[in-house]
Structure 1
Amino acid sequence: MPDAIFETLKARIIDQSEPPGSTLTESAVALRFGVARPTAKLALERLVADGLLRREAHRAARVPELGRADIVDLFATRRLIEATAIGSLASGGAIPADALAAHRDLLGIARTGGAFAAADATFHRALVAGSPSPRLARMHASLMGEIELCIGQVQAHHLLDVTDVAAQHQGILDAVTAGDPATAADLARAHIDAAGSALLAHYDSTH
């Protein structure tokens, strides 16, 4: 049951149904899902651990509000990790199965419409997890909550066209398959920069 609550709340946070700054209390979550407070607490603790919620001592958990400096720092760090990991992955020329599956999902969404944040996040997570460096994968995993928050904002505010996102993913996959580390890394950087620039432009226009 905590897993189901976690997944439901995670989806709501990413699609902005639980907007940045909103609070989630154990009692409210327990009431909403008809579970005991310890069960609600477990789900909230996992969301906090994943970076999708923040909690200070003696305060309710809150959906993070990322400022401009947060976005700049996150995307700069993400750029370094993902470009390095994807370049290393291209040295072997093999694409992780989870990344291929996520890309197929994204292509389907591009054709039919719908929410793409989960498929986008899974694609990036799988590529880095499949790289030869477990340390890069661990660093990336520690950022995934905030990365997913940003992807959710891109989706919610229609900052990028999912068709363009899918095309950029395809370019990265083609470079990895071709065993071209330099091109794969360059395309990963350009892809991340496009998302970061769109999100920063939106932030600047609304603050």
Structure 2
Amino acid sequence: MAPKLEVVSVVDAVIADLRRRMFSGDLPPGAPLTEATVAATYDVARTTAKAAIESLVGERLLVRNAHKTARVVTLDADDVRDVYRTRSLIEGQVVRTLADQKRVPDAARLALDEMHALADADPERIVAPDMRFHRALVDALGSARTSRAYEALASEVVLCMSHVQGAALLPTADIVSEHEEILRRIVDGDAAGAAAAVHDHLGRASDRLAALVEIRAAETR
């Protein structure tokens, strides 16, 4: 049987590559992004470029005031803390529910296995399986509304995670160990412990990234 290929539109392909470039730092915070630039870079129509930019504004990866050029979002320390706080509220309750059922989704185990395999790799490579791990837990709740609420945060979450790993703020071994602890608590049926493990894991990343953002902001004043 021939493999099934995923077909994406030109707009989606442009969005995906712009998103990748923002996460990698190729398009840094504050960088302007015009329809003309996007159209020329990807050899697409201006209407396609406009649609891509509007989509990324909706994801809050780009910001644009009325009649102004869109720019890559610049997260301040309060933004960072709020993203992680919101994650903690959602994920903390999710793991409590999963622990009550002693249920670990297979997708979370697979993502953790992939993180193990990347223990000695470039820290930024762990971002994708890390995000899959957390998404798997949320989706395992079986609530379409909760998954949609989490998905609304997804781009900002990955942007924060990319900054954390890009600056090597957390050792990969520690990240893997913290994910193992979350699953261990769920398997043990320790709802309070699972929630605490999630809060501690996200709190460390939040504190370190917020501190880095504050330092960099002070340096540019």
TM surpasses 0.5 = yes
Q: 1:47 to 1:95 in 2, by over 3 A?
A: farther
2:183 pairs, out of 173, 185, 191, with 173
Deviation at 1:114, TM superposition (A): 4.8
Query: Quick check: 1:129 aligned with 2:155?
Result: no
For 1:160, the equivalent position in structure 2 comes to 170
2:209 pairs, out of 177, 187, 199, with 199
1:69 pairs, out of 60, 74, 78, with 78
RMSD: 1.9
Deviations 1:113-133 (A, max 9, x none): 352222222222221122244
1:1-20 aligned at under 5 Å gives the runs 1-20=10-29
- Report if aligned partners of 2:78, 2:210 keep a CA contact under 8 Å in 1: no
Name which one, 1 or 2, has greater alpha-carbon Rg. Answer: 2
SS in 2 for 1:110: coil
> In structure 2, what is the Cα distance between the partners aligned to 1:14 and 1:138?
21
1:101 pairs, out of 102, 110, 113, with 110
SS in 2 for 1:78: helix
32-41 or 93-102: which moved more? Answer: 93-102
For 2:100, the equivalent position in structure 1 comes to 91
> In structure 1, what is the Cα distance between the partners aligned to 2:136 and 2:60?
18
TM-score by length of 2: 0.84
> In structure 1, what is the Cα distance between the partners aligned to 2:121 and 2:82?
34
> In structure 1, what is the Cα distance between the partners aligned to 2:56 and 2:170?
26
- Report if aligned partners of 1:51, 1:144 keep a CA contact under 8 Å in 2: no
- Report if aligned partners of 1:15, 1:155 keep a CA contact under 8 Å in 2: no
- Tell me which amino acid in the other structure corresponds to 2:105: P
> In structure 1, what is the Cα distance between the partners aligned to 2:116 and 2:15?
27
Deviations 1:87-123 (A, max 9, x none): 1122222333332332222222213335222222222
Deviations 1:160-202 (A, max 9, x none): 1112111111111222223322211110000001101111221
- Report if aligned partners of 1:95, 1:176 keep a CA contact under 8 Å in 2: yes
Q: How many residues align?
A: 207
Identity of aligned residues (%): 37
- Report if aligned partners of 2:123, 2:166 keep a CA contact under 8 Å in 1: no
